[in-house]
Structure 1
Amino acid sequence: MQASPVCAAGMQWIPGGTYRMGSDDHYPDELSAEAVTVEGFCMATHEVTNAEFASFVKDTGYVTIAERPIPRDQYPGLAEDQRAPGALVFESPAAGAEVTYLSWWHWTPGANWQHPQGPGSDLDGKDNHPVVQIAFRDAEDYAAWAGKSLPSEAQWEFAARGGLMDQVFSWGNTYSVKKANTWQGEFPIHNLEKDGYFGTAPVGSFPPNGYGLQDMTGNVWEWTQDWYRPGHQGMANQVNPAVSQVEQSFDPREPGIAKHVIKGGSYLCAKNYCSRYRPAAREALEPDTGTAHIGFRLVSGPLGPAEATGGMGPPKA
């Protein structure tokens, strides 16, 4: 019997295969594509944590986009006092307040991966939580440092299904509060916290899927390589560097703004809002934007024979 390929520590082998990507039963931007094939690959068991990202920053001196002043050429209409580094932070509306769409997001100067809720917050006791306030470009730079890459959307969705094809969730067809970190109650007013968490949860707090991957549902949204377009038909699985971003990406809600696909939903997804905590679900986000519920995980190829055996010859079957 041939042994499965060996992955680096902290990663799981995903055998690959052909599947129906997306769903025809939920949002229009998920419309399915038949016979999408992915080759076998290794995927991180969990999202990149605060401790792991801190190691990267210590080693490289990296400064995330949320820690940099807003560029003049990108947003020429902003006054100088509006260019301070910052990011988007979620805040539940006050009781009795009028709730309008997206009014729960607030641009917060000083918010970044070390202060995810703003200057008064920190990472004490959260080394093992997923890092957030990470823009796509930050995730790419981390991946390059780690010698790995971000997953394509097809890889991510195939892995999230955990071997269960055409099921609604990573574990089957019935939602369970015990399976993932999501929002319970009426969003955005009150989170009942039946899963034990209001915000992010430590990675691995919920059962793994069939491939041994944790938090592929909820906790934080995860970046993929793909540029966003509604549906999947005719889409390449990888970014094409020969074609401009705007040509590859189209969001009818904001035409002309290039966005990447994010997957998995987050602790802010509820039954009455978003409900995108499903393998087929997807959203779009600009590559220079981080928020309090965006993180990432990595993929790679398997180890070579020498790496897998510590340089002592081919692995045994």
Structure 2
Amino acid sequence: MSGCCPPSRSAPSSVAAADRGAATNAEGLLVLPGGTFRMGTADKDGFPEDHEGPVREVTVPSFAIDAYAVTNARFGEFVDATGYRTEAENYGWTYVFAKFVPAGLRKISPRPEQTPWWCGVSGAYWRAPEGPGSDVGESGDHPVVHVSWNDAVAYCAWAGRRLPTEVEWEYAARGGLDQARYPWGDELTPGGEHRCNIWQGRFPVRDTAEDGYSGTAPVDAYQPNGFGLYNTSGNVWEWCADWFDEAQSSRAMRGGSYLCHDSYCNRYRVAARTANTPDSSSGNLGFRTVADV
């Protein structure tokens, strides 16, 4: 995988709700009625190697889903209640985008050869997202990051939820639109308005932050889609329940992140997908939850 897609923990340089068509249940989840939709894409700008296609009709039963990605505040409640330690803490390091790493720490942090804009930072984890001395501060409403698939599953077990399947995720992310590129339509910035948190400028050296954010944005930034979900394009990648392919070595991730840019990684399209190993984590990878109804 390339660009904003976070490297796996086994990379060579590793270190030691707005209601817009969906009801809300008692737990604050959006209840989506089941239906049939056209999943996947034949987009000429897509990535066939990611198995984005073919376009096919899929029927999904009713389910409930978070309007937002899980926040630092919500994940903190889980950790405080259970004493859970994330895999980043147990391994002692996680991947941080180089721009956010202090210069002194950046010099001593190993980087994957293929994606040198990622630093394997010792001591970084969800509560210290940029390494020792950093904290989430006033970012309680931002998506939690540096969580592995295994961490997300542990949270779900505590919360009585589960991770969405890719079918559920894409159905919800489309917001009722048929084969649109984005949750709001086919144009990235209709009328010049930014609708998601991605990279503007020349990657990886300069992000102009024309969309209002450099790094993560609050989970309720921008407008929700037709089902009431926020930030299903950009901001942070979101873990899904499924294996990425038949090899069953990596789990699927959806939605793109604040590091995505059309010049190299336009995976903020609704049908786009990528993957990582279940123990991997990074500063642009989070999750949202679902529940059966």
Relative to structure 1, the CA distance from residue 116 to residue 162 in structure 2 (aligned partners, 3 Å threshold; closer, same or farther) is same
- Runs of 4+ more than 6 Å apart: none
Please give the per-residue CA displacement for 1:30-89, whole angstroms capped at 9, x wherever unaligned: 1224121111111001000000000000100000000003xxxxxxxxxxxxxxx01011
Deviation at 1:119, TM superposition (A): 1.0
**Counterpart in 1 of 2:206?**
190
The question of 1:161 aligning with 2:157 is answered: no
1:203 aligns with 2:219: yes
State the partner residue of 1:42: 64
| Residue segments in structure 1 that go unaligned for 5+ positions in a row | 70-84, 95-99, 230-247, 251-257, 303-317
AA of the residue aligned to 1:160: A
Match of 1:31 among 31, 53, 64: 53
State the secondary structure of the residue aligned to 1:68: helix
In the superposition, the TM-score normalised over structure 1's length comes to 0.77
Letter in 2 for 1:184: Q
Does the residue aligned with 1:171 lie in a helix, a strand or coil? Answer: coil
Whether 1:221 aligns to 2:237 is yes
For the aligned residue pairs, the C-alpha RMSD in angstroms reads 2.0
Quote the offset at 1:91 in angstroms: 1.2
Map 1:73-222; keep pairs closer than 5 Å.
85-92=92-99, 101-176=114-189, 178-222=194-238
Indicate whether 1:266 and 2:257 are aligned: yes
Q: CA deviation at 1:269?
A: 0.4
Q: What is the distance in 1 between the residues matched to 2:139 and 2:235?
A: 14
Contact 2:252 2:273 in 1 (8 A): yes
Instruction: Calculate percent identity across the aligned residue pairs.
Output: 46
Residue of structure 1 in register with 2:89 after alignment: 67
* 8 Å CA contact retained: 1:16, 1:158: no
SS in 1 for 2:172: helix
Among 31, 36, 45, which residue is 1:13 paired with? 31
Residue 10 of structure 1 and its aligned partner are, at CA, apart by 2.6
1:109-165 deviation per Cα after TM superposition (whole angstroms, max 9, x unaligned): 001001111113111111111000000000000001000100000100110000001
Question: Using the alignment, how far apart are the partners of 2:188 and 2:26 within structure 1?
Answer: 32
Q: Tell me, what secondary structure is at the counterpart of 2:252? A: strand
Give the conservation status (yes or no) of the 8 Å contact 1:157–1:279: yes
Deviation at 1:6, TM superposition (A): 5.4
Contact 1:225 1:260 in 2 (8 A): yes
8 A contact 2:71–2:144 mirrored in 1: yes
The gaps in structure 2 that reach 5 residues or longer are 1-21, 104-112
Normalised by the size of structure 2, how large is the TM-score? 0.83
| Other-structure match for 2:18 | none
Q: In 1, Cα distance between the equivalents of 2:172 and 2:114?
A: 32
Aligned match of 2:14: none
How many corresponding residue pairs?
256
| Higher Rg of the two aligned structures | 1
CA distance in 2 between counterparts of 1:298 and 1:204 reads 15
